[in-house]
Amino acid sequence: MAAELAMTRKKFATIVLLLALVAIVLFLRARPEYDIDRVDERLLALRQPYRSVVTAYYLDGGSIGIGIVDRDGCSEAFALPCDDDPRRSQFLQQYSKVFVGAAHTSHREAREIVDPEPTKRMLICILRDYPKRTPWDDYCLMQLRRHPVDFARHLLHRWKGDYGPGPGP
């Protein structure tokens, strides 16, 4: 009887451990990828590997600009304005629109993309996979993706002082 009880406890502990691992994997996995057929053609025209991917975080409430230079030297800029909602903190901004042609919506060249979500997700994947990200690139990635690993990386950058002097993000 005692041996059966010990075996039942081991099975129960194993099942709980497996369920915890599955929960952790589901929690930490990346957001779903994008539908390539719905991504804006100006982003698809850029050829990989990219020479550079740079970001800019604007103090207009949290808009993000992304500039990409492809392997042939062609470049394109994208603007992701934060949705205007003064009740949201800087860590809860939403980015439901994407503009192409400029890094900020205030430029005349900026044109709004009709179906922004697939393009936004591809930009997130490009930024996530770019090997030479700066601390500010990581901050913009955290704002766009909302992934726990990105938030932890941001906290590590703050702790190390990677954002430079001043209050930082």
Boundaries of every domain in the chain: 1-30, 37-160
Q: What's the pLDDT score for residue 107?
A: 93
Structure-block tokens of residue 156: 């590590």
pTM: 0.77
What 3-state DSSP class applies to 75?
A: strand
CA distances from 79 to 30, 55, 99 (A): 22, 10, 5
Q: What's the pLDDT score for residue 11?
A: 81
Q: What's the pLDDT score for residue 88?
A: 58
To 10 degrees, what angle do helices 116-129 and 135-145 make? Answer: 140
pLDDT in tens, the chain (169 residues): 666 656 677 888 888 888 777 766 656 555 557 788 899 999 999 999 999 999 999 988 789 999 999 999 999 999 999 887 656 555 567 898 999 999 999 999 999 999 999 999 999 999 999 999 999 999 999 999 888 888 899 999 999 988 876 545 5
Q: What's the pLDDT score for residue 99?
A: 97
Q: What's the pLDDT score for residue 36?
A: 87
CA distances from 151 to 10, 49, 64, 78, 93 (A): 36, 26, 17, 23, 14
Q: What's the pLDDT score for residue 133?
A: 93
Q: What's the pLDDT score for residue 87?
A: 62
